[in-house]
Amino acid sequence: MPTTGNAIIGQSGGPTSVINASLVGVADAAMKSKKIGRVFGMRFGIEGVLNNFLLDLGAESPATLKALRSTPSSALGSSRLKLQESHFEPILKQLKKYDIRYFFMIGGNDTMDTIHRVVEYANKHGYEMTGVGVPKTVDNDLYGTDHTPGYPSAARYVALSVQQGALLARDMQRVDQFTIFQTVGRSAGWLPAAAACVRQQSSDAPHIILCPEHPFDRGRFLSAVSDVQQKRGFVSIVCGEGITNPDGSPVSASETKDKFDNVEFGAMGGASVGMQLHRMISDEFGWRGEFQVTESLQMCAADRAVKQDVTNAYSCGREAVRLALAGEGGVMVTIERTSKPGAPLEIQHGTAPLSEVANHERPMPANFFTKDGMNVSSKFLDYAKPLIGDLPEYASLTIKRAKAR
């Protein structure tokens, strides 16, 4: 593989509150390497290469890069462009023009596919280039890694939102008998499941958690809602945006798809799943309720970011450069948990082949759910709590009726 050349970095897909830490990790390590000359950034993902819009990251001040480590969203700009065969020749032409020999992208499954295909095309046409992927997705569904940078912070956002919203729902139960909190997550339930980490007792909110791994059963759902409301006076429900009916159709009723043929649950092609569940409950019981759909806020809430998540995102970026310089291309950096379940988080880095990451998703395992599929098990809590960190404990009145003396 080449001993010298320039490097390029791109960000793709949805942002996270720590994706820029990974960007700086790659940039810092690349700039310190004697094998790498200039370090470029793709403006708006792979579209920046196609449109000859590259940024000179070496021209940025050290102070800017340092501050970027704790800045949310995607500083380079993101893209969801699906590569066509006609794209590869102009991409390679641009990479040659800038003498790019090290190719890094930060993203999810589709991003890993982009790296794999671009580097494979370049090498097939006699141009030596090493590509390494850096994991990113709040969905936490990337194959081959214990968790993805960005998930712990997004999970904490969900947990805190549900915890505080549940206090409101409890105290407003004479007005609103139920509340629904909808998370992002196309085909995996890692984010809605994280809400369970706030419970101090088994009876605490959230009472029902709906994840894409289990088909939605309207009858069982409404029965569970009725049972909880009778016992608690209100119902706290958390749902993933991608839950489906038994026939595979989205509960959201959305028919809009993106360029990767993924259903866009937040699109105007259908109501959100939170709205659909709200309508079901209201129609069935005549209750008034609330729903919260935060969409991308959970992807970029830096004020709720987990410090270790930022640290690990940065180290993933640095590890990507180390692998590339060692000639270990065609892989994505992974995070391997070395601590025991439930213990404070300790990790080390590993790798997973880009081709496998691109073609696989990682749903929650069956033993992370309760038997009815509408809640999570203690095994999931052992997995998730060390990622999220400590959560606040709020006070509650004893609610003991006073007697006249």
For 188-232, the pLDDT digits (tens) are 999 999 999 999 888 899 999 999 999 999 999 999 999 999 999
* Residues 99 and 13 both lie in one domain: yes
* Residues 377 and 260 both lie in one domain: yes
Residue 143's CATH number: 3.40.50.450
Q: How far is it between the farthest Cα atoms of the chain?
A: 93
* Residues 182 and 267 both lie in one domain: yes
Residue 278's CATH number: 3.40.50.460
Q: Which of 28, 110, 113, 139 is catalytic?
A: 139
Question: Alpha-carbon distance 105 to 392, whole Å?
Answer: 36
Work out the mean pLDDT of the chain and round it to a whole number. 93
Question: Which pLDDT score is estimated for 253?
Answer: 77
Instruction: Give the pLDDT band of residue 3 (cuts 50, 70, 90).
Output: low
Question: Alpha-carbon distance 56 to 397, whole Å?
Answer: 58
Q: What is the pLDDT of residues 48-83, one digit of tens each?
A: 999 999 999 999 999 999 999 999 999 999 998 989
Of 194-198, 290-294, 371-375, the range with the lowest mean pLDDT is: 290-294
* Residues contacting 199, CB < 8 A, separation 6+: 205, 206
Instruction: Give the pLDDT band of residue 270 (cuts 50, 70, 90).
Output: very low
Q: Which residues pair with 290 in a beta bridge?
A: 179
* Residues contacting 387, CB < 8 A, separation 6+: 147, 151, 152, 155, 306, 309, 345
* Residues 35 and 88 both lie in one domain: yes
* Residues 265 and 383 both lie in one domain: yes
Residue 156 covered by a domain: yes
* Residues 93 and 159 both lie in one domain: no
The pLDDT of 174-194, averaged and rounded, is 94
CB 164 within 8 A of CB 180: no
Question: Which pLDDT score is estimated for 22?
Answer: 98
Of 68-72, 171-175, 183-187, 285-289, the range with the lowest mean pLDDT is: 183-187
* Residues 239 and 116 both lie in one domain: no
Winning range, highest mean pLDDT, from 64-73, 258-267, 391-400: 64-73
* Residues 159 and 255 both lie in one domain: yes
Question: Which pLDDT score is estimated for 18?
Answer: 97
Q: Which residue segment(s) compose the domain that 17 sits in?
A: 5-149+303-359
Of 15-24, 179-188, 225-234, the range with the lowest mean pLDDT is: 179-188
Question: Alpha-carbon distance 74 to 147, whole Å?
Answer: 20
- Chain centroid, CA 55 distance in Å: 26
Number of domains in the chain: 2
* Residues 238 and 143 both lie in one domain: no
Asked if pLDDT for residue 267 goes beyond 50, the answer is: no
Residue 256 covered by a domain: yes
Of 1-15, 126-140, 317-331, the range with the lowest mean pLDDT is: 1-15
For every residue of 144-211, DSSP letters joined together read TSS--TTHHHHHHHHHHHHHHHHHHHHHTTTT-SEEEEEE--SS--HHHHHGGGG-SSTTSSP-EEE-
* Residues 48 and 110 both lie in one domain: yes
Q: Which residues pair with 105 in a beta bridge?
A: 10, 133
The pLDDT of 347-353, averaged and rounded, is 98
Residue 240 covered by a domain: yes
Residue 405 covered by a domain: no
Residue 396 covered by a domain: no
The yes-or-no answer on residue 99 being catalytic is no
Instruction: Give the pLDDT band of residue 261 (cuts 50, 70, 90).
Output: low
Amino acid 26 reads V
Residue 273 covered by a domain: yes
Residue 213 covered by a domain: yes
The pLDDT of 238-246, averaged and rounded, is 95
Note the residue count of the chain: 405
Question: Which pLDDT score is estimated for 201?
Answer: 87
* Residues 265 and 351 both lie in one domain: no
Residue 403 covered by a domain: no
* Residues 123 and 243 both lie in one domain: no
Asked if pLDDT for residue 256 goes beyond 60, the answer is: no
Q: What is the pLDDT of residues 351-367, one digit of tens each?
A: 999 999 998 999 999 99
Asked if pLDDT for residue 117 goes beyond 60, the answer is: yes
Asked if pLDDT for residue 21 goes beyond 90, the answer is: yes
